[in-house]
Chain A
Amino acid sequence: MILAQIEVSTIATMTAVLGSVLGGLIYMINWAKNQQ
């Protein structure tokens, strides 16, 4: 119901911003773990 009220551009921005920052963070944490 909440999602229905949110615009597509909001979902797209949220996905892009959180995806790049959190995605980058998770990717780097995994890389750092594998370095040990």
Chain B
Amino acid sequence: MSRKKELFSSRVGYILSLMGVAVGAGNIWRFSRIAAQNGGGSFIIPWVIFLFIWSIPLIIAELALGNLFRRAPIGTMVGAAGKKFAWMGAFIALVTTAILFYYSVVVGWGFRYFFYSVFGKLSAATDHAAIWESYTNSLQPLFFHLASVLFGSYVIYKGVTNGIEKTNKFLIPTLLIMIMVIGVRAITLPGAWTGIAFFFTPHFQDLFNYKVWLEALTQNAWDTGAGWGLLLVYAGYARKKESITVNGCLTAFANNAVSLVMGIIIFSTAFAVESRAGIEAMITGEGSTNIGITFIYLPKLFNALPGNDAVHAIFAAIFFLAFAFGALSSMISMLQLTAQTFKELGIQKNRAIFLTGLLAFFLGAPSALSMAFFDNQDTVWSLGLIINGLFLAFGVIRYGTDKFRKDVVNSVEDDLKMGRGYNYVISILIPLQGIILIGWYFYQALQTKNWWDPFAIFSLGTILFQWGIGLALFLLLNRWLVKRTEGVML
């Protein structure tokens, strides 16, 4: 009980680790595609607005909750909302853990494609869809998934300072440098400015389309990682004097800056190579899905860039390494959250890490071997993140929003102070946005055939079925969860 808790040793290491959580696959493979499908400039205006009214307030809430309770999600929800709500914390942990299971598969894809690029397989290829098919139909994704889980588990086994902090101190600056390098190349391509102009040109009629706003909220929520519970876990290892508001805003702005740079890179390249057809490909063609744009459409574009095969290979290799690094840094935080939740339930540290790695491998294996399973899990749990954000906001409301702002958020000396407006955003705007978003999603899902089918890949039935099992289980186990987490030192 008296064991001293390990903390992030430096502010830079802490901030880079927070950025490691926020910057992930969502910035790279989802942002540009969603921007293209929702009108480019018309999309990024609401996207920036939601940065201020969803992501930043929730990130600040997470850092403050972590700073106050220094627990995993279950202990945090018990501390903030009361013992009756341990199940909410368990659900937050479940959603992020379920994402971890298939996210390590994505990390593996990134590294596999980095190696494909280095060995020239992508430059020589004419049919990128065939390469993707043959790769995903083999056992290779399982191997790369295993390697990702092993590496991530090793990082969290090394601890916060020597593992998480050191790794992020390498991954994030390297990722930023790589993005800058391909950014410079992309914007200097002939025709690149047409793509950048599309990216920043609003069509004002789109701003009256509610779908554009809902997609912008969804994207901002997913690409910043606000409300996932991951930042909360890292904040539990920050030194007490670490700022909450400045670090929270810094993380959010840096994350969105990465998304914008990635958008500029992808739109510049698409327009430079294919002109207007490049955007069409992202809207309805082969680049219209996360996987399609990353592993089929972009490698094809890289091959068409000026220069020889070596130049194409270098461009692709840097892109896929950046993708893999971004995804890996986020995956490490997911592993940490899961292992910490097991620790919070009374499992000894090394056993908790081993159990996390074991579960991540075995429960992620179906996603590595079946794209249908992967798609189902992505559909179910990525929407669950909005519920996570709502639960965290609920925790703050139960704690007392004004008390939370004054005594916790504004508790650090020499930090940017939050005004009264923060109370309204957390207690009114965040719940309103979350409820509208979930309601809209459900409404859309109800229009589809077989919406009730719990075993369909994409259906409301499968979402409610899987959430329902988790929620029912945790509600039944609520008292046990409280009992197990009480008095456990993390």
A1-36: which have CB < 8 Å to B? 2, 5-7, 9-10, 13-14, 16-18, 20-22, 24-25, 28-29, 31-32, 35-36
Q: Which of B15, B44, B193 contacts A17 (CB 8 A)?
A: B44
Given contacts A9-B201, A13-B44, contact A21 B250 (CB under 8 A): no
State how many angstroms separate the Cβ of B251 from the closest Cβ of chain A.
9
B1-17: which have CB < 8 Å to A? 11, 15
Q: Which of A2, A5, A17, A32 contacts B48 (CB 8 A)?
A: A17
Q: Determine whether the beta carbon of B11 is less than 8 Å from that of A28.
A: no
CB of B489 within 8 A of chain A?
no
* B254 and chain A: residue at smallest CB distance: A25
Q: Determine whether the beta carbon of B253 is less than 8 Å from that of A14.
A: no
Q: Determine whether the beta carbon of B41 is less than 8 Å from that of A13.
A: yes
Q: Which of B201, B204, B246, B257 contacts A21 (CB 8 A)?
A: B257
Q: Determine whether the beta carbon of A32 is less than 8 Å from that of B260.
A: no
Q: Determine whether the beta carbon of A28 is less than 8 Å from that of B249.
A: yes
Q: Determine whether the beta carbon of A10 is less than 8 Å from that of B200.
A: yes
CB of B414 within 8 A of chain A?
yes
Mask of B254-274 contacts with A, CB within 8 angstroms, 1/0:
101100100000000000000
CA–CA, A6 and B192, complex, Å: 13
Given contacts A21-B51, A25-B257, contact A10 B197 (CB under 8 A): yes
CB of B180 within 8 A of chain A?
no
Given contacts A10-B197, A32-B15, contact A17 B45 (CB under 8 A): yes
Q: Determine whether the beta carbon of B11 is less than 8 Å from that of A10.
A: no
Given contacts A25-B250, A29-B250, contact A16 B45 (CB under 8 A): yes
Q: Determine whether the beta carbon of B200 is less than 8 Å from that of A21.
A: no
Q: Which residues of B contact A14 (CB under 8 A)?
A: 200
CA–CA, A6 and B51, complex, Å: 26
State how many angstroms separate the Cβ of B448 from the closest Cβ of chain A.
34
State how many angstroms separate the Cβ of B82 from the closest Cβ of chain A.
34
State how many angstroms separate the Cβ of B84 from the closest Cβ of chain A.
37
Q: Which of B193, B197, B201, B247 contacts A32 (CB 8 A)?
A: B247
Q: Determine whether the beta carbon of B45 is less than 8 Å from that of A21.
A: no
CA–CA, A26 and B161, complex, Å: 27
Q: Which residues of A contact B254 (CB under 8 A)?
A: 25
Q: Determine whether the beta carbon of B41 is less than 8 Å from that of A32.
A: no
Q: Which residues of A contact B256 (CB under 8 A)?
A: 21
Q: Which residues of A contact B197 (CB under 8 A)?
A: 5-7, 10
Q: Which residues of B contact A2 (CB under 8 A)?
A: 193
Given contacts A9-B41, A10-B197, A29-B250, 6 further A-B contacts (CB under 8 A): A6-B197, A10-B201, A17-B48, A20-B48, A21-B51, A28-B250
Chain A residues proximal to chain B, CB less than 8 Å: 2, 5-7, 9-10, 13-14, 16-18, 20-22, 24-25, 28-29, 31-32, 35-36
Q: Can you identify 25 A-B contacts, CB atoms within 8 angstroms?
A: A6-B197, A7-B201, A9-B202, A10-B41, A10-B197, A10-B200, A10-B201, A10-B202, A13-B202, A14-B200, A16-B48, A17-B45, A18-B260, A21-B48, A21-B256, A24-B249, A25-B254, A28-B250, A32-B11, A32-B243, A32-B246, A32-B250, A35-B243, A35-B246, A35-B415
